[in-house]
């Protein structure tokens, strides 16, 4: 089958790799000069940063984890996770509920006391079922953990009020802590949360993009870059109506480098971008589908790379719920992932800030973002002084996180049904509009490839 994949991020490249192995004729059309999307890396002045945010390789899904690790062959190393939360000057073990003993005494009491009170109320049936994400946090953790960490951190990373977010997505992503773990952590008995992350893999050379490049190598002649998709037309039918799942109707994909024909189109593009492609090709888009696409919420990310003289300790990454420290919600330490991503005698820090168009962060110049981060790192004693900073970089991506607002389920259902009616398959984080990590994207790719089957010889 002749397949056009729209977008050359991790999902698009993985689709090309897996579908080609099954005998399909795949062409990837990528708007940018480079592939990788949010999984891109950049090396400059001896520093390598993942410029779409910090990425590591781990998964509960053994097949997916093996897939990602195997593609790197020898270019990989394993690290033991050492993750902290910065709270009132203390380095609290991650996740927060497993690190209560690290809190100042009054905060430790607040968290455990409120957790127990909440647990008693729950057992008595006095708590009403939560209806949004904020209510779920209080319902699950109690007021202490909610107000000390869970609410401020989540509102910082999502750049969205937790009471305006759906709770449907938390199952499996934010596990309910066992009562015994809460009690143990409060009195100083070591416990572990998120154990599937306790050991992770990372490329030795090239940052996370090395993984994308390894997937790309067997299919690099099937990828066309600097190729913006401007229109998608079903062959012989620019109006409505359904297309069979076999894709027999055929498509014409219009791009900045000419037209491409395909039996099937797979999109990894954001819904509004794909919708514009259909509109440009003359499709009569129903109002409810257009409205659903426009109303899907997401945020953007600014990734600030900081190279410093000397060491930065042995932490893998750190979460920062406090707003007085800075706008960044997470910092990672790439030089603790691999010894080859920073010059000898230097270390690296990658800060991430989520924002939305029109807000304060979106209006800040790159130099201002660097200053914001360096000031915060000095407050945290990660960096001793501005004189220790020897390298900086700033990269911004419009599409970073899918936001599960209260209208999400309704809008995403309408959106998916519309594109399905047009015979276009959606695979990946922003096309499906689902908060998928790297391993989730690969799982969806593997499942899709299995369902589409092998090409007929």
Per-residue pLDDT of the chain (457 residues; tens, 9 = 90+): 999 999 999 999 999 999 999 999 999 999 999 999 999 999 999 999 999 999 999 999 999 999 999 999 999 999 999 999 999 999 999 999 999 999 999 999 999 999 999 999 999 999 999 999 999 999 999 999 999 999 999 999 999 999 999 999 997 677 677 888 888 888 888 876 666 668 999 999 999 999 999 999 999 999 999 999 999 998 754 433 333 333 445 999 999 999 999 999 999 999 999 999 999 999 999 999 999 999 999 999 999 999 999 999 999 999 999 999 999 999 999 999 999 999 999 999 999 999 999 999 999 999 999 999 999 999 999 999 999 999 999 999 999 999 999 999 999 999 999 999 999 999 999 999 999 999 999 999 999 999 997 875 4
Q: Are 312 and 397 found together in one domain?
A: yes
At 245, list the tokens. Answer: 């799942």
Asked if 294 contacts 412 with a C-beta cutoff of 8 angstroms, the reply is no
Q: Does residue 210 lie within any of the structural domains?
A: no
Name the pairing type of β-strands 25-29 and 2-6: parallel
**pLDDT of res. 316:** 97
Q: Domain for residue 216, yes or no?
A: no
Distance (Å) of CA 89 to CA 98, 314, 317, 377? 18, 17, 16, 12
Helices 151-158 and 133-145: angle between axes, nearest 10 degrees: 140
Please check whether residues 130 and 75 belong to one and the same domain. Answer: no
Same domain, 149 and 288: no
CATH number at residue 335: 3.90.660.20
302 and 433 assigned to the same domain? no
d(Cα 309, Cα 383) in Å, to the nearest integer? 9
- Long-range CB contacts for residues 95-100, cutoff 8 Å, separation at least 24: 95/177, 95/193, 95/194, 96/145, 96/148, 96/149, 96/150, 97/141, 97/145, 97/177, 97/181, 97/182, 97/185, 97/193, 98/177, 98/181, 98/185, 98/191, 98/192, 98/193, 99/185, 100/182, 100/185, 100/186
208, part of any domain: no
Residue 310 sits in which domain range? 37-94+194-200+298-402
The answer on 302 and 388 residing in a single domain is: yes
Query: CB–CB of 202/81 below 8 Å?
Result: no
Residues 269 and 307 in one domain: no
Q: Are residues 416 and 292 in the same domain?
A: yes
Helix (H, G, I), strand (E, B) or coil at 451: helix
CATH number, domain with residue 436 = 3.50.50.60
Structural domain includes residue 105: yes
Q: Let me know whether 307 and 388 are in one domain.
A: yes
Out of 366, 386, 402, pick the residue that ends a domain.
Answer: 402
Whether omega for the bond prior to residue 143 falls within 30 degrees of 0, making it cis, is: no
Using an 8 Å Cβ cutoff, are 50 and 334 in contact?
Answer: yes
CA distance 154 to 93: 17
Q: How far apart are CA 225 and CA 222, in angstroms?
A: 10
| Beta carbons within 10 angstroms of residue 125's beta carbon | 7
C-alpha distances (whole Å) from 352 to each of 53, 167, 359, 438 are: 7, 24, 16, 17
Last residue within a domain, chosen from 172, 192, 212: 192
Same domain, 45 and 29: no
Last residue of a domain, one of 168, 192, 216: 192
Same domain, 357 and 380: yes
CB 299 within 8 A of CB 401: yes
- Specify the pLDDT at position 193: 60
Provide the domain count of the chain.
Answer: 3
Taking the C-alpha atoms of residue 52 and residue 39, their distance in angstroms, rounded to an integer, is 6
| Domain identity same for 24 and 46 | no
C-alpha–C-alpha distance, residues 111 and 317, integer Å? 23
C-beta separation of 383 from 304 below 8 A: no
Please report where in the chains the tokens 């592939």 appear, as a residue: 35
Measured in whole angstroms, the distance separating CA 171 from the mean position of its chain's CA atoms is 17
381 and 233 in a single domain? The answer is no
Specify if 212 maps to a domain. Answer: no
The neighbour count for residue 362, using CB atoms within 10 Å, is 12
């Amino acid at each position: 089958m002749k397949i056009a994949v729209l977008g050359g991020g991790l999902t698009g490249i993985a689709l090309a790799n897996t579908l080609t192995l099954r005998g399909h004729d795949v062409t990837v059309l990528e708007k940018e000069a480079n592939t990788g999307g949010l999984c891109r890396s950049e090396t400059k002045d001896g520093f390598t940063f993942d410029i779409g945010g910090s990425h590591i390789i781990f998964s509960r899904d053994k097949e997916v984890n093996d897939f990602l690790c195997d593609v790197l062959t020898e270019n990989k190393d394993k690290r033991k996770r050492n993750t902290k939360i910065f709270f009132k000057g203390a380095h609290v073990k991650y996740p927060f509920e497993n690190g209560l003993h690290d809190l100042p005494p009054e905060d430790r009491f607040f968290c455990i006391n409120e957790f127990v009170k909440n647990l008693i109320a729950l057992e008595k049936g006095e708590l009403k079922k939560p209806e949004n994400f904020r209510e779920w946090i209080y319902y699950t953790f109690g007021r202490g953990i909610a107000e000390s960490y869970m609410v401020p951190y989540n509102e910082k990373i999502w750049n969205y009020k937790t009471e305006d977010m759906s709770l449907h997505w938390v199952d499996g992503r934010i596990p309910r802590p066992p009562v015994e773990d809460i009690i143990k952590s409060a009195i100083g008995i070591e416990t572990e949360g998120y154990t599937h992350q306790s050991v992770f893999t990372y490329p030795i050379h090239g940052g996370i993009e090395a993984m994308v490049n390894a997937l790309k190598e067997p299919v690099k002649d099937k990828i066309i870059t600097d190729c913006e998709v401007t229109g998608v037309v079903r062959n012989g039918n620019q109006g409505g109506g359904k297309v069979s799942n076999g894709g027999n109707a055929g498509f014409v994909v219009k791009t900045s480098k000419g037209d491409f024909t395909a039996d099937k189109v797979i999109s990894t593009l954001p819904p509004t971008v794909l919708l514009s492609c259909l509109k440009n090709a003359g499709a009569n888009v129903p109002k409810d589908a257009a409205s659903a696409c426009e109303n899907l919420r997401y945020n953007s990310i600014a990734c600030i790379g900081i190279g410093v003289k000397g060491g930065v300790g042995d932490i893998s990454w750190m979460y920062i719920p406090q707003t007085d420290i800075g706008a960044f919600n997470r910092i990672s330490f790439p030089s603790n992932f691999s010894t080859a991503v920073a010059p000898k005698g230097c270390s690296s820090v990658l800060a991430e800030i989520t924002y939305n168009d029109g807000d304060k962060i979106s209006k800040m110049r790159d130099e201002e973002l660097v200053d914001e981060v360096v000031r915060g790192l000095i407050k945290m004693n990660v960096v001793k002084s501005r004189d220790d900073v020897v390298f900086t970089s700033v990269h911004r991506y419009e599409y970073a996180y899918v936001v599960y607002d209260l209208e999400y389920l309704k809008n995403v259902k309408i959106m998916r049904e519309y594109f399905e009616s047009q015979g276009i398959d959606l695979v990946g984080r922003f096309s499906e509009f689902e908060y998928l990590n790297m391993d989730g994207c690969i799982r969806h790719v593997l499942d899709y490839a299995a369902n589409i089957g092998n090409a007929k010889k």
